[in-house]
A and B are shown apart, each in its own frame.
Chain A
Amino acid sequence: MKNTKTNKLNIALWLSLVLVLNLGCERELSDDATVATFAQTGEIFTDNFVAMGSNFYFPFADSKLDAFSVDTREGFESNASYRVDVPNDTDPTGNYAGAILRVDGAGRDLSGFNVLTFYAKASRGVSVDAIGFGQDFFENKHQVTANNVSVGTNWQKYYIPIPDPSLLVNERGVFWYAAGTQATGGSGYVLWFDEIKFEKLGTIGQPRPGIANGDDITIDSFIGVTAAVTGLIHTVSLPTGIDGTVAPAISYFQFSSSNPSVATVDNTGIISVLAAGTAKITATLGGVQANGSVTINSLGDFVLAPTPSRDPSNVISIFSDHYNNRPVDFFNGFWQPFQTTESADFVVNGDNILNYTNFNFVGNRFGNPPVNATNFSNLHLNMYIPGQVPANLDFLISIVNFGPDGVEGGGDDTRQQVFFNASDFVANTWATLEIPITLPQRSNIGLIIYENVNASTLRNFYLDNIYFYIE
């Protein structure tokens, strides 16, 4: 019945297009002409696929491609459901299940709905990495994701709110999910979905969009810096009275700057700092003021670190815009639970700067493979402390050699520790730290650790031009 309806709509659509074309040959569109609209079907899978066409299942390329099937025994108040067999993490054909469902053919007009709903259950209690809609493998322009969705062993209804339905007038990416086994110790499980559909529910309320995770943050910055607005969230009160939060794509937000002569923000959330001064970046979503803001405190011109002049053939670079950098595992691998350090890396006039905030300790790891520094005498770093240099600064840099086994840990790692204090720095100025390497074994250096010791108040600093060199 519903399929028939859709076909009729499609025919109407084609007719209207033909009509428009014919009219176009003759004269301007009359005021009476209405814009061609797309099918307003909300159902995606209700015991079977609804108006999805024939070629709609697109698994992620690195996932287990055949993890999906239609289960003809299990179902929510039925005997059919969308079944996903999440593989064990050792499965050679793919260690997770993930796919998008994309309407085959013209998109749908979802502007009359306000929420994607579905029933789900799992063969064991799991936290599903991501479930959402709007991912179409094109622009993913209207992607919305619920992360870490807790799914139990009995059917339950789930709600993924549409942040601004008025944008979804021609949408093909109607459902997507990614489910792995990080939360289950590598063991596979079964996920069932049913009654997947868009609905218009009056029981969804209290929309609360947010940027910067809803916090008011201030960033010291400089002329020429570009940075992205992050922490995009959208929270609504669900029919249960419990809040549900999703991560919407940037396209749902409209940004503005309180002082465009200091900093501008474009519609993709990129902030560009133009002058010294202060500018507050705020956002709205569907006319609702978003919680949170990013205040740019521009200190004016930024003086880049001294340009390295050493011959590239004598350098192994970890992080610099002046050399070819070797592969790095991470610049801030968050070491739970004790690390507090976050990253606010930025680009100023094309030069990348590492910025650590809320600092206690952090590491740069480059262990694949480690650096053979046998013939390299020194480690070079540029470090910049904005604001004030704490009088009691006690800053420890550790260079870690992974030992004969070539991997971190294993009991054979050795480290060289070098301490710096307040006399080594001037506030708001690049310091050049030259560290002669004294490690007897230095053929497998894979990690540099930065630590704030003895409780100094250092929380924020920049790094650039991290490289080993031959004297």
Chain B
Amino acid sequence: MTAGVAGLSVVDLREVALGLGDDCLVLSHRLAEWTTHAPELEEEMALANLALDLLGQARSLLTLAGEADGRDEDQLAYWRDDRDFRNLLLLEQPNGDFAVTMTRQVLFSTFQELLYRGMAAGTEPRLAAIAAKGVMEARYHVEHARLWVQRLGRGTEESHRRMGQALDLLWPYTQELFKPTESWSRAADQGAVPPLSSIEEPWRHSIESLMVDSGLEIPGFPAWQSGGRLGRHSEHLGHLLAEMQHLHRSHPNASW
């Protein structure tokens, strides 16, 4: 196994970058699905901003992931099937209503900001550079989503009810955020990425205080869903990819 920069193996670097890149790509796709359906025009712009930021991060991460075996961002995005995708299950869940979308966003962006903060200070320079830029974006995503969770949690009876349902729906997917793959653990040992156990506590604290502020309760049931990082996805991802990849795959030798 070839050693990469900072003692991180090429395979581990690829796996780490692929997981994070797929997170961004899949969530960006979901957010882009809101186009022309947002509850107000300001939100139309904001959701597109989020989607664009994540797409930019996905492109950097996939480019890095493909370097070792000479695959570019499009080959990785368009020519892998769902069993080869490494994103978190949370992110492929359908948009649902605006409460579901904002709940998903706050759960993920809070995690992503903490993760990028650690990675920006890490020993792998290319991961660190991507994270340093991404952390500013993630900060904005967190703020945007937190504000909406509060507004909806404490807005009207209906918005409060919908937020409760959204939290119940998505909570089962939250434990997966903190389950490291073997590659992740080795990368953390090398100091390239933060150990996931180190960001779980700050994440939990941030989400719990938000829910208290928003008059919402975190579900009491266990969050046991996982498998995305290993390529075991929900039924939703296949449909998402069928839509995303269809045109590109219909013209195998074309450039766009």
A is bound by B? no
